[in-house]
Structure 1
């Protein structure tokens, strides 16, 4: 008996697939809608390696990927994995979608005889088929992307995934690495989109070789057109009369004629998926140029499809949904309108966000050089962010009323996996900074981020420098926590040995700190809380400091503001500043009285000092984009001889 004839996914589904009662409106044999055929065939097309779906609800996406999993297990015998946003989501998908499919699609019993058995080959985490396996995993933990080799990977509800999985990278890259070595590697990624600028699928679609939309021939002019929502300021799209949804019709963007949903359903079988470049496909198998000439099949394709294409939703119902959302928006509640844009139009929602203008901050830069402490700066604190190839450090001077000055921004190139490389950071944190009064100030407290790949190296570094007030910190995942949060003793795995309760790890209330920082950045004049910037800071510093937006998010506890970072943005300067704020609180500077500040001012910048007798250095330090000019970058930097130490009340010393 020979091998079975090869089938596309749409052909296999037409022959074998079945809609289960638990997960479908109607239990019945599968019959694809016209717009689903090319989508399914693109999944089974071995020339296409990445397929992205930016979609609305009610277009059958879940059923298509269920059919694909059955197809790859039974027809292609390929190893697969599907990641859901969380472990709970994964378990729910297995129980309500996958297991009913394996039960009701009869042909699956030939490759999955344990479909009804309690068996090690049939668990919530994997389904072992004949000649292949399907892994089902949550996407929160980096470990769920390790130690598996697959041909095909699925990521469902991609916009609900973390953009950076435990600081090991984005989930799509981590998942794609599991297909390396496959003869026909395939990634299928789909989601209802969420917030513009923060949407995972939006970034994915931007990388696609072609972005396709479903087109039909207009019943009147016969031109190829997509269904479009339109809007008040658009002459095409959905229109209705006298606030009556039942009168809705679609205006053709080419001829301006109206046609109804019934008209659409008479022509929808004559269709094309057309890209922005004019290239097109009818079946997801063969691709053509604008004039019909065959073109090479793209390796990465993206599809956009929204609710109006599906007969499961009436056009009148779509209009009613919009009208209800628009009415609620008049009261200031955009929640329903946002849901309409995301789940019905299949588009990202553009949120009104709070952020600080980086250019406005840069324009406020003052005429003092880096590594010089201006008048008013009395205590130095530092925040350290650990990256895979460098340490990033921002040093702030704190004065009366927590007025602050950016004193230095340094990138120290190093390999944090090598403990000897931490000596570069250690030397830098012992730097003496010239005050305009003529004194030299040292960094009084520092906070080092312990997240990411180098946790134990960071623990050990801080463990050995407790007396110098170098703290191990980590951002608190809970909202609304104080900047100086709770601490706990952590074991340190150092040189193969475990030091029990070796270091105290402090949690930093990052969202609280970012709220405070955001407010302080709005203060334009000198005084309590104001923040000052040196003329020598690069533009990248301001862009990183203002990288995150504050948006209003719906949570189980009600509406809450959350700080989010757009994909691709760097925010190391922000993180370092947050850690420096924590260091300042560890010194209790936020509790200083006027008398305490007066005493400190008398020591650091005595009023009778002649500023012109000891001018500050006039040669600015090398900007961070030329780090090799700084001794710490070359590895030959040594701390200056420590000056005389003058003890002082307040829990720390100032050295000059």
Structure 2
């Protein structure tokens, strides 16, 4: 009997063990996993240690929708400082540790994918014990772990750039995490929409998830706004501390003086601590949609104080349209609508002014830009003052045979001259950007290389894919064999800045002044307004492009180059720079240093 009892007990034990092994684990949501297992790293978080969803409770339902079988697509249209990247990381950690699956993270460029891997993903894998032993160290010889791929039992994390089609159309994936989709190009090379390419890779999985995240950009070409408008369009509502009416926090209800939010129902003002202390809920404008969409603005963030948001708004308003665009995108999480996409050259011509001297009193520093044509150089010298207010100083043309040394000597002499204020103070050119993209590339390199100590630099517009965002200063190289410093420009970003500034009608930050005479004739203003911003579509994906409406656009290009020269210098515009400053020898390697 005893022997039979032992056999029965052993059989029962094995039966229980088999049941535990074969049965699925109890349900666990992404937020519950993060609250239990996620550790924040010191180099990527101001609050290192155990993750707490209650710190930003609006994140809970967003994360838990990732495990909701009723929704395949999730859209997050959000400002900065609301934890978008942490939501992505928690989704990755959950699927590595608890629900293994092949995962793809897409960033706008391959370089940004590598940066995300190094700066955000690797610290999480290192500091969260539940993940540490599941992904081998990148320093080992394990081929399953590189910057752009992390293998683990049951799956892998692949990272790629939207501008690199090879990484978007190969292996099947179940979890797609597309970050900052408004910065994606409209087409990945000739392969088509990178987001569409990535989504097709999920077709083999019935339980696929596609999470699209971004801060919005321009109205009419914003991918995230388009996706959000197809979704449930949910906003996080908080109850008024006085009357209990649930409502989203809106900028137009913020009182600047008291740094409080006025209730839309009862009209009472309450500060941010009183509002944020309430228990909120997500409310859908389109509850029947099959895409779950969430909108977040910075007013909800526990890491951003309302007083600082108000100050940032006031500063952006003073600085002008470009600064306001950034503020609307990154603080309100809303798209920016461009005003007046095409300027009237006659209006600009008629607002020219008489200067009392070569240089108006408000000018602090001079820059120059050179456009290289087959039979001439076109040069514009500009003055800059406080708040990046600008003054056209002279638009000059030098004609000649660019295959002969004479015209190059004339250009050198011109860039070496000085301009005076009414009191006799002399100003030299502090930085010059010279186009190298035409028929005389090597000649430009030969000219600029020995003049780098004078901050005369070769520049070239960076080639971009349709709709791809590239900042004005997009890096630099030293092409062989000359090893000349070549600065790459995002000219579309530059044109947007110039056009925004030209629209300003009041003197002050970013306003553009033009003198009478000095080369600023009718033809100049026709060239300055020779392009307009158009929205185009490729396979249904909108993107914006600058389109020529007149043949000659050199004045617009030169304004972009001058804007780049100022950004390279990054001067203190409260200080006055007279003769062009000398550059310290040890600083010559970097084009983006400020003036010494």
Query: TM-score, normalization: structure 2?
Result: 0.55
Distance apart, 1:251 and its partner CA: 0.9
Task: Name 1:17's counterpart in structure 2.
Answer: 38
Seen in structure 2, the aligned counterparts of structure 1 residues 551 and 201 have a Cα distance that, compared at 3 Å, is: farther
Aligned pairs (5 A) from 1:1-16: 1-2=20-21, 3-16=24-37
- 8 Å CA contact 2:41–2:127 kept in 1: the answer is yes
Task: Name 1:300's counterpart in structure 2.
Answer: 291
CA offsets per residue over residues 168-218 of structure 1, 9 Å max, x none? 32222111001011121111111111111121211221222x110000111
Residue 566 (1) aligns with residue 577 (2): no
- 8 Å CA contact 1:103–1:115 kept in 2: the answer is no
Distance apart, 1:42 and its partner CA: 1.4
Task: Name 1:383's counterpart in structure 2.
Answer: none
Seen in structure 2, the aligned counterparts of structure 1 residues 5 and 510 have a Cα distance that, compared at 3 Å, is: closer
CA offsets per residue over residues 102-127 of structure 1, 9 Å max, x none? 11111113432446634211101200
Counterpart CA distance in 2 for 1:565 and 1:148 is 36
Task: Name 2:317's counterpart in structure 1.
Answer: 326
Counterpart CA distance in 2 for 1:70 and 1:485 is 53
Seen in structure 2, the aligned counterparts of structure 1 residues 563 and 46 have a Cα distance that, compared at 3 Å, is: farther
Task: Name 1:212's counterpart in structure 2.
Answer: 234
- 8 Å CA contact 1:87–1:137 kept in 2: the answer is yes
**Matched residue of 2:325: which SS?**
helix
Seen in structure 2, the aligned counterparts of structure 1 residues 303 and 509 have a Cα distance that, compared at 3 Å, is: closer
Counterpart CA distance in 1 for 2:338 and 2:243 is 38
Distance apart, 1:225 and its partner CA: 0.4
Residue of 155, 171, 180 corresponding to 2:194: 171
Task: Name 1:135's counterpart in structure 2.
Answer: 158
Counterpart CA distance in 2 for 1:307 and 1:99 is 27
Task: Name 1:272's counterpart in structure 2.
Answer: 281
Kindly name which structure, 1 or 2, has the bigger radius of gyration based on alpha carbons: 1
Residue of 88, 95, 98 corresponding to 2:118: 95
Task: Name 2:516's counterpart in structure 1.
Answer: none
Once superposed, what is the RMSD of the aligned Cα atoms?
3.7
Q: How many residues align?
A: 363
Distance apart, 1:275 and its partner CA: 1.6
Counterpart CA distance in 2 for 1:79 and 1:118 is 21
**Matched residue of 2:145: which SS?**
coil
Seen in structure 2, the aligned counterparts of structure 1 residues 45 and 79 have a Cα distance that, compared at 3 Å, is: same
Seen in structure 2, the aligned counterparts of structure 1 residues 554 and 66 have a Cα distance that, compared at 3 Å, is: farther
**Matched residue of 1:44: which SS?**
coil
Residue of 324, 340, 347 corresponding to 1:337: 324
Distance apart, 1:18 and its partner CA: 1.0
CA offsets per residue over residues 110-161 of structure 1, 9 Å max, x none? 4324466342111012001101011111110222211110001111111111
**Matched residue of 1:12: which SS?**
helix
Counterpart CA distance in 2 for 1:341 and 1:485 is 42
**Matched residue of 2:256: which SS?**
strand
Aligned pairs (5 A) from 1:55-94: 55-94=78-117
Task: Name 1:240's counterpart in structure 2.
Answer: 256
Q: Gapped runs of 5+ residues in structure 1?
A: 231-236, 242-246, 280-295, 358-478, 487-507, 512-547, 583-656
Counterpart CA distance in 1 for 2:197 and 2:301 is 33
Distance apart, 1:552 and its partner CA: 1.1
CA offsets per residue over residues 360-397 of structure 1, 9 Å max, x none? xxxxxxxxxxxxxxxxxxxxxxxxxxxxxxxxxxxxxx
**Matched residue of 1:338: which SS?**
helix
Residue 188 (1) aligns with residue 211 (2): yes
Residue 229 (1) aligns with residue 198 (2): no
Seen in structure 2, the aligned counterparts of structure 1 residues 135 and 35 have a Cα distance that, compared at 3 Å, is: same
Aligned pairs (5 A) from 1:116-515: 117-208=140-231, 210-230=232-252, 237-241=253-257, 247-267=258-278, 269=279, 271-277=280-286, 279=287, 298-329=289-320, 334-355=321-342
**Matched residue of 1:23: which SS?**
coil
Q: Gapped runs of 5+ residues in structure 2?
A: 1-19, 345-434, 442-460, 465-491, 500-509, 513-527, 553-596
Query: TM-score, normalization: structure 1?
Result: 0.51
- 8 Å CA contact 1:549–1:565 kept in 2: the answer is no
- 8 Å CA contact 2:220–2:535 kept in 1: the answer is yes
